[in-house]
Every structure is written in structure tokens, then in C-alpha cells.
């Protein structure tokens, strides 16, 4: 009798799973997978080792147990549903490059509306679909601010394999996907994980400008440009140059991935980019007020740390490009900006660009600057200018 009941129940959940799968496209979900809610025991060792080696970004959930045990987010969990939403990788109408008009670039992961909002919308549509059929279901949805490791869930649920570049790579969508998940108390039968298809390829590791991919699938966040662009403080000289014109995020290890070749997804309306916003001219960024920044960038994921990191990174880019026309803007920041990181960045950029006007600005700032780290940047800039 008990066996017959169990069979009826598992048939019910298998049928519901198939219904969800069939409905996913209509709910705006590109790929869906089902996983058991067992703890991610093996992952805990990896996370611990990363912590010990100083590879964490500091943006993660600090409680490692919460990151690996779904039961700490939802009592008596029975399954996890992983979803993926595909985003574009190509700019349809990129702004024309004009001599002397330097532009920065925002990572593809922040091209449209903030993906957290888009994922939340898709998860709540999915939740409504499930609740209509199972009103008593308990559900806990999460996007990357949740406790669980999205990539571990997506891998177990068969969304894709975990690439050497630390992205989940879906055979169909590539790694241009946002991931979200929901823990449920419904015992959906799990899907099968996908076998690793990186093979002997190491293109992502070879292309990483900072050596942040310290091994296959192992990231030292403190050297990853994507992470560094989101920090708010001073940045080491070596990394400043390697950041190039990246204002937020870094896509290099995904762009070079052969699986992503030709994959560009334009069907999710909220995720399509405005070329002028994602590849903006650099000097106008420097003087944006908080209000202007929010109006222009507030709907994008790239705005989550406020304007300072993006303005600082824009200054690094002007220095890296050695844009002489930017000197008056940089001198103004050095003299007037209240934020030491911005003054420090301006000092560094002026030292790289060189010339009499840059030199005057640095000398003048040295007369009054009090902040020790800005003074350090000014001293380096002065030495660089004298050597020129
Ligand atoms: Fe390296 Fe950029 Fe990939 Fe980070 S995002 S691992 S810096 S290529
Ligand atoms: Fe794997 Fe090669 Fe893609 Fe890296 S570039 S994730 S090694 S397939």
C-alpha cells in the first residue's frame, strides 16, 4: 500500500515537473533544471580552502554552512529548481569610435535592467505557477544575493557544466546566462548533471589579464578585474593598467570561450543594452552627481556600488589611454573632489599622461593634499612626470 502511494506521489511530481518544463518558456525562463536538496558537502571544503587562501571577494554570504546547506534556508527541503535567463553578448549598434573620444565599457552582465529584478520576476512567475497547482508548497527563491552558491545548484540541476573560467556553461546558451534558484518542499525527481566539456582547452586561463584564474575553475577574486572594478578603495598600479577601459566587470574569460562563439541572445526585452550607456564616453562620467548617476545608471546592476567605483575606473581608463584632452578634467578632480580615491586616481592618471599642464596640477596638489594615500599617488606621479 505504502509503495503504491509512493508511486502515485512520484508520478504526480514527475508530471508537475514536466508541466513546469513545458511552461518555462512562457514564464520568460530560458532553461530550467531540478536538483536534490542534499547539502553540497564537497563544496564546503573548496569554500574553506578559498577562504584560507584569501581568494574570497568579500561579497559572499559569510556563513559557509548556509552556503552549502539548503535546509538552513528552508526547513525540510526536498528539491531545488534552477533557472537560467540568457542575455546578449553583442552590441547591435555600438557607438562609433572617434579619434580622441575615449570610451569605457560595462560588462555584458550589466547591460540591461538589473538582472536581480529580472530573475526575481521570473522566479515569482514560476512560484505562482507552482502555487496554483500545489497551494501548500513551501518555496524559498533566491538570486545571487541568496545564501546558496548559484553555480553549484545550476551544475547539479544539469543547467550546464562548471567551466574552467568559473562560469556555468550551458550547451545551448553558453555562459551568457543569469542564474537563480528556488528551494521547495516538493520532491521533484532530479535531473542529471552535464559532463564537463572543457576538455584540454585552457583559453580562458591563458587570456585572463591578471592570472586570477589560479587553476581550472578556481578564482582568486582579489586579482579578478571584475571584482576590482566593484571595490571602492585605492587600487594597485599593476591592476590599474590591466583594467584597461573596463568600468564595471570583465568579460574576457567568457569572450574567449569557444562555446560562447556566435551566441548572442536578444529575446529578453529587459536585458537589451543601450549602447551609449554601456559604452559611454569617459570624461562626462567624471562630473556626474549622485542624482545624475542614479538617473542614468540606477536601473543597471553596475550601479549597486554607487558612482565612485565607476568614476574611479573611468579615470584609470583615461590614464591608460594617455588621453591628453582629459588633463583639465583630471586636474579639476584632483583639486575639487572630496573623495580621496578619486583624487588618487586623478594623480595617477596625470602622472601617466604627462605634459606641463599635468605637472602643474600635481605640483599644486602636493602643496595642500593631506590624505596619505593620495600624497603617495602624487609622489609617484611627480616622479613619473620628472622622468618624462
Ligand atoms: Fe580574469 Fe577577467 Fe575572468 Fe576575472 S573576469 S577571471 S580578470 S578574465
Ligand atoms: Fe572551458 Fe575553454 Fe571555455 Fe575555458 S575557454 S571555460 S577551458 S571551454
Which atom of ligand 2 is the closest one to the Cα of 163? 6
Q: Is 207's C-beta closer than 6 angstroms to any atom of ligand 2?
A: no
Which atom of ligand 1 is the closest one to the Cα of 223? 7
* Predicted local confidence at residue 282, as pLDDT: 97
Residues 53-66 pLDDT 10s:
888 888 888 888 99
Which atom of ligand 2 is the closest one to the Cα of 165? 6
Structural domain spans, the chain: 2-95+105-184
* Three-class DSSP labels, the chain: CHHHHHHHHHHHHHHHHHHHHHHHHHHCCCEEEEEECCCCHHHHHHHHHHHHHCCCCCCCCCCHHHHHCHHHCCCCCCEEEEEEEECCCCCCCCCCCECCECECEECHHHCCCCHHHHHHHHHHHHHHHHHHHCCCCCEEEECCCCCCCHHHHHHHCCCCEECCCCCEEECCCECCEEEEEEEECCCCCCCCCCCCCCCCCCHHHHHCCCCCEEECCEECHHHCHHHHCCCCCCCCHHHHHHCCCEEECCCHHHHCCHHHCCCCCCCCHHHCCCHHHHCCECHHHHCCCHHHHHHHHCCCHHHCCCHHHHHHHHHHHHHHHCCHHHHHHHHHHHHHCCCHHHHHHHHHHHHHHCCHHHHHHHHHHHHHCCCHHHHHHHHHHHHHHHHC
Q: Is 250's C-beta closer than 6 angstroms to any atom of ligand 1?
A: yes
Q: Is 206's C-beta closer than 6 angstroms to any atom of ligand 2?
A: no
pTM of the model: 0.93
Residues 180-209 pLDDT 10s:
999 999 999 999 999 999 999 999 999 999
* Predicted local confidence at residue 54, as pLDDT: 86
Give, using CA atoms, the residue closest to atom 5 of ligand 2.
Answer: 257
* Predicted local confidence at residue 374, as pLDDT: 98
Indicate the average pLDDT of the chain: 95
Q: Is 333's C-beta closer than 6 angstroms to any atom of ligand 2?
A: no
Residues 145-167 pLDDT 10s:
678 999 999 999 999 999 999 99
* Predicted local confidence at residue 183, as pLDDT: 97
pLDDT band at 2 (very low <50, low <70, confident <90, very high): low
Which of 105, 202, 213, 230 for a ligand 1 pocket mutation test, highest count of atoms within 8 Å of Cβ?
213
Amino acid at each position: 500500500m505504502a509503495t503504491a502511494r509512493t508511486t502515485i506521489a512520484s508520478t504526480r511530481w514527475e508530471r508537475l515537473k514536466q508541466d513546469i518544463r513545458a511552461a518555462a518558456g512562457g514564464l520568460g525562463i530560458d532553461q530550467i533544471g531540478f536538483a536534490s536538496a542534499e547539502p553540497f558537502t564537497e563544496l564546503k571544503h573548496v569554500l574553506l580552502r578559498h577562504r584560507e587562501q584569501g581568494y574570497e571577494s568579500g561579497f559572499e554570504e559569510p556563513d559557509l554552512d548556509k552556503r552549502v546547506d539548503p535546509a538552513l534556508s528552508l526547513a525540510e527541503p526536498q528539491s531545488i529548481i534552477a533557472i537560467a535567463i540568457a542575455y546578449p553578448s553583442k552590441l547591435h549598434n555600438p557607438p562609433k569610435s572617434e579619434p580622441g573620444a575615449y570610451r569605457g565599457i560595462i560588462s555584458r552582465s550589466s547591460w540591461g535592467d538589473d538582472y536581480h529584478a529580472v530573475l526575481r520576476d521570473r522566479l515569482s512567475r514560476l512560484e505562482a505557477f507552482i502555487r496554483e497547482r500545489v497551494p501548500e508548497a513551501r518555496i524559498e527563491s533566491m538570486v545571487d544575493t541568496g545564501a546558496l552558491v548559484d553555480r553549484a545548484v545550476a551544475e547539479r540541476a544539469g543547467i550546464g557544466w562548471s567551466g574552467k573560467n568559473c562560469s556555468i556553461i550551458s550547451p545551448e546558451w553558453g555562459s551568457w546566462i543569469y542564474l537563480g534558484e528556488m528551494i521547495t518542499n516538493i520532491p521533484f525527481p532530479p535531473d542529471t548533471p552535464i559532463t564537463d566539456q572543457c576538455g584540454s582547452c585552457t583559453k580562458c586561463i591563458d587570456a585572463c589579464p591578471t592570472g586570477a584564474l589560479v587553476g581550472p575553475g578556481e578564482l582568486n577574486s582579489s586579482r579578478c578585474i571584475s571584482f576590482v572594478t566593484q571595490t571602492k578603495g585605492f587600487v594597485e598600479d599593476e591592476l590599474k593598467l590591466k583594467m584597461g577601459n573596463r568600468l564595471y566587470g570583465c568579460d574576457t574569460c567568457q569572450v574567449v570561450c569557444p562555446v560562447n562563439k556566435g551566441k548572442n541572445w536578444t529575446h529578453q526585452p529587459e536585458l537589451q543594452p543601450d549602447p551609449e550607456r554601456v559604452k559611454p564616453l569617459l570624461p562626462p562620467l567624471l562630473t556626474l552627481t549622485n542624482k545624475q548617476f542614479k538617473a542614468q545608471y540606477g536601473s543597471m546592476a553596475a550601479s549597486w556600488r554607487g558612482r565612485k567605483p565607476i568614476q574611479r575606473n573611468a579615470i584609470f581608463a583615461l590614464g591608460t589611454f594617455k588621453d591628453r584632452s582629459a588633463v583639465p578634467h583630471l586636474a579639476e578632480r584632483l583639486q575639487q573632489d572630496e573623495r580621496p580615491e578619486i583624487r588618487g586616481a586623478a594623480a595617477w592618471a596625470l602622472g601617466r599622461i604627462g605634459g606641463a599642464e599635468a605637472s602643474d596640477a600635481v605640483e599644486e596638489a602636493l602643496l595642500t593634499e593631506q590624505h596619505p594615500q593620495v600624497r603617495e599617488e602624487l609622489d609617484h606621479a611627480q616622479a613619473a612626470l620628472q622622468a618624462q
